[in-house]
Chain A
Amino acid sequence: EAQVTQNPRYLITVTGKKLTVTCSQNMNHEYMSWYRQDPGLGLRQIYYSMNVEVTDKGDVPEGYKVSRKEKRNFPLILESPSPNQTSLYFCASSLYQEQPQHFGDGTRLSIL
Chain B
Amino acid sequence: GENVEQHPSTLSVQEGDSAVIKCTYSDSASNYFPWYKQELGKGPQLIIDIRSNVGEKKDQRIAVTLNKTAKHFSLHITETQPEDSAVYFCAAIYYGGSQGNLIFGKGTKLSVKP
Contact = CB atoms under 8 A, between A and B. Distances in A.
A75 interface: no
A45 B44 contact: no
B49 A100 contact: yes
A45 B101 contact: yes
Interface in B22-47: 31-32, 34, 36, 41-46
A110 B63 CA distance: 38
Nearest to B97: A56
Contact of B43 (A44, A50, A97, A104): A104
Nearest to B91: A43
A8 B1 CA distance: 33
Q: How large is the interface on B (under 10, 10 to 19, 20 to 34, 35 or more residues)?
A: 20 to 34
A75 B73 CA distance: 34
Contacts of B89: 42-43
Given A41-B106, A42-B6, A42-B107, 20 more contacts: A4-B43, A35-B104, A42-B89, A42-B105, A45-B101, A45-B103, A90-B44, A97-B99, A98-B32, A98-B93, A100-B46, A102-B46, A103-B36, A103-B44, A103-B45, A104-B43, A105-B41, A105-B42, A105-B43, A106-B43
